[in-house]
């Protein structure tokens, strides 16, 4: 599977971010409401460029980030992907962010299965982790729908205000039956 190729779900179009997305990425990662659930502080325009550059060629790397766009309007919805892929431990961490205008509309529930399939099938991991801000109850509920369970962190978190949740490959396979 070529991870750099675009693909679609029912409502979303996924593709690797490029410099045409600079304003959206800057808006997403500099907005105080959005950053309240991130471990990183708000970014400036130059740092937004660095985010796009960092994720531009995912094949063979321990990280990947897709831009998510509305199929009908081409509006930027957010980003999702994985990072901290450890081939030896057969584990990876996923991450996602939805622009606040699209919160609670089911977009992350549409995106998570796509990322999980990439992780379990393409990366061949046994465990997928996610760090969630404890006050982001919508995000916690979203991953709980996919059988994620609270666990000890798979790595040292970037900040102390976070919870770690894990999905085991067998639980994902049972959920997909």
Does 53 reside within a domain?
yes
Whether 148 maps to a domain, the answer reads: yes
Rounded mean pLDDT of the chain?
Answer: 92
pLDDT tens per residue across span 85-143: 999 999 999 999 999 999 999 999 999 999 999 999 999 999 999 999 888 899 999 99
Lowest mean pLDDT among 45-49, 77-81, 134-138: 134-138
- Does the model's pTM come out above 0.85? yes
pLDDT at 177: 67
**Is 1 a domain residue?**
no
| Residue 119: CATH number of its domain | 3.40.630.30
- The pLDDT, as a whole number, for residue 175 is 87
**How many independent structural domains does the chain possess?**
1
pLDDT digits (tens, 9 = 90+) for 28-40: 999 988 888 776 7
> What is the secondary structure of 81-98 as a DSSP string?
EEEEEETTTTEEEEEEEE
Q: Is residue 88 part of a domain?
A: yes
SS3 152: coil
Go through 15-30 and write b for each residue having 16 or more CB atoms within 10 A of its CB, e for each that does not: ebbeeebeebbbebbb
Residue 66 lies in a domain: yes
Residue 7: beta bridge partners? 14
Which pLDDT value is given to residue 30?
92
């Amino acid at each position: 599977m070529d991870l750099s190729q675009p693909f679609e779900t029912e409502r979303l179009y996924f593709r690797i971010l490029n410099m045409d997305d600079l304003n959206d990425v800057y808006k997403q990662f500099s907005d105080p409401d959005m950053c309240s659930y991130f471990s990183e502080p708000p970014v400036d325009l130059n740092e937004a460029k660095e985010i796009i550059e960092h994720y531009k060629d995912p094949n063979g790397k321990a990280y990947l980030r897709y831009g998510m766009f509305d199929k009908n309007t081409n509006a930027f919805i957010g980003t999702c992907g994985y990072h901290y892929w450890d081939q030896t431990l057969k584990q990876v961490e996923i991450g996602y962010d939805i622009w606040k205008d699209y919160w609670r509309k089911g977009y992350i529930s549409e995106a998570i299965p796509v990322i999980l399939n990439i992780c379990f099938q393409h990366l061949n991991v046994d465990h997928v982790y996610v760090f969630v801000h404890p006050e982001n109850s919508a995000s916690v509920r979203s991953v709980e729908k996919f059988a994620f369970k609270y666990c000890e962190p798979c790595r040292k978190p970037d900040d102390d205000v976070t919870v770690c949740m894990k999905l085991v490959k067998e639980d994902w396979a049972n959920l997909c039956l």
